[in-house]
Amino acid sequence: MVSYGSKDDNIISIGAEAILLLDEWFGLPAVRKIRVRKKYRETTLDELIRRKRTLIEARLLIAAHEKGVPTPIVYDIDKDHYSILMEYIPGTKLRDIVESLPVKLMEKIFFEIGYHSGILHENEICHGDLTTSNVLFVREREAIFFIDFGLGAFTNRLEDAGVDVHLFLRSLESAHTSVTKQAFKAFINGYRRARSQKTVKMVLDKVEEIRSRGRYTSR
Ligand SMILES: Nc1ncnc2c1ncn2[C@@H]1O[C@H](COP(=O)(O)OP(=O)(O)O)[C@@H](O)[C@H]1O
Ligand SMILES: [Mg+2]
């Protein structure tokens, strides 16, 4: 793997797909997300997939930002090293703090996530891995940011929007059982703000269908 001369203490996260390093861009704090090699994949295919996912993630981050959805600004893309340099968001994963939030603030945050998810879908952007792990929360500003679009796509298929909402609901059910109902209600209220009544109904029907499918087969 390419070395960026980073010390271990610059490591923010090591995941299955990518490592994230603290970096800088013209003096601004930045994050470098580098897609790592998967040893079980043949080299040419592996490089192709990493390059493709890097480009797609950057394009989706940029498109979302242009539509007013809070995402880190993309500073640079290096497709030959499978990396994206982006704005550093001084926040915590929503997943780690949901339970500690006052109810009103929790509802406000989930409303916003729902609203911005609706805006994404209205603009044919699907996140692909919409969970509370992929939303950062900056407490001082009470602001949220969507990250990790690496599994996303530009698509207007109802199924893809349904999968986003389904995954989000599932992440609430598995990680935040005590607030699932309230949080999902707030999310849907926000989602309704961004999309027509008819579309919301179609998406929710699709979510039901996906969930009933899931009851017979495991995803
Ligand atoms: N722009 C950013 N600013 C600050 N932290 C970030 C940023 N992007 C990612 N992170 C941190 O790195 C973690 C992993 O990033 P993510 O894009 O979700 O990759 P993965 O595919 O490994 O889940 C996030 O959960 C978050 O803690
Ligand atoms: Mg992630």
CA distance 57 to 74: 10
Q: What is the pLDDT of residue 2?
A: 46
pLDDT of residue 218: 53
Structure tokens at 25: 């861009």
Compute, in angstroms, the gap from residue 113 CA to the centroid of ligand 1: 17
- Round the average pLDDT of the chain to a whole number and report it: 94
Q: How far is the CA of 92 from the centre of ligand 1 (A)?
A: 10
Tell me if 55 sits within 8 A of 47, measured CB to CB.
Answer: no
Q: Are 118 and 195 in contact (CB under 8 A)?
A: yes
Q: How far apart are CA 81 and CA 198, in angstroms?
A: 44
**What atom in ligand 1 is closest to the CA of residue 150?**
21
Regarding predicted confidence, which is higher, 215 or 132?
A: 132
List of domains in the chain? 8-87 (3.30.200.20), 92-216 (1.10.510.10)
Q: Residue 89: CB within 6 Å of ligand 1?
A: yes
Q: 60 CA distance to ligand 2 centroid (A)?
A: 15
- Cα–Cα dist 18/184, whole Å: 29
- Cβ atoms of 177 and 132 within 8 Å: the answer is no
The closest residue, in CA terms, to atom 26 on ligand 1 is 93
Euclidean distance between CA atoms 57 and 14, whole angstroms = 17
Atom 8 in ligand 1: which residue has the minimum CA distance? Answer: 147
Residue 7 pLDDT? 57
For the residues 75-83, what does the mean pLDDT come to? 96
SS3 call for 15:
coil
pLDDT at residue 68, as a whole number: 98
pLDDT tens digits for range 5-46: 545 679 999 998 999 999 999 999 999 999 999 999 999 999
Give pLDDT, residue 9.
Answer: 75
Element (H, E) at 181: helix 180-194
Per the CB < 8 A criterion, the answer to whether 110 and 169 are in contact is: no
Work out the average pLDDT over 67-94.
97
**pLDDT digit string (tens) for 163-197?**
999 999 999 999 989 999 999 999 999 999 999 99
As a whole-number percent, the residues of the chain with pLDDT over 70 amount to 95
Q: 170: Cβ–Cβ under 8 A, 6 or more apart, which residues? A: none
C-alpha dist (Å) from residue 180 to 14, 97, 132, 194, 204: 28, 14, 12, 21, 16
The reply to whether ligand 1 has any atom less than 6 angstroms from the CB of 164 is no
In this prediction, residue 198 has a pLDDT band, given cuts at 50, 70 and 90, of: very high
At residue 1, the pLDDT reads 43
pLDDT digits (tens, 9 = 90+) for 41-72: 999 999 999 999 999 999 999 999 999 999 99
Whether ligand 1 lies within 6 angstroms of the CB of 30 is answered as: no
- What is the rounded distance in angstroms from the CA atom of residue 26 to the CA atom of residue 16? 29
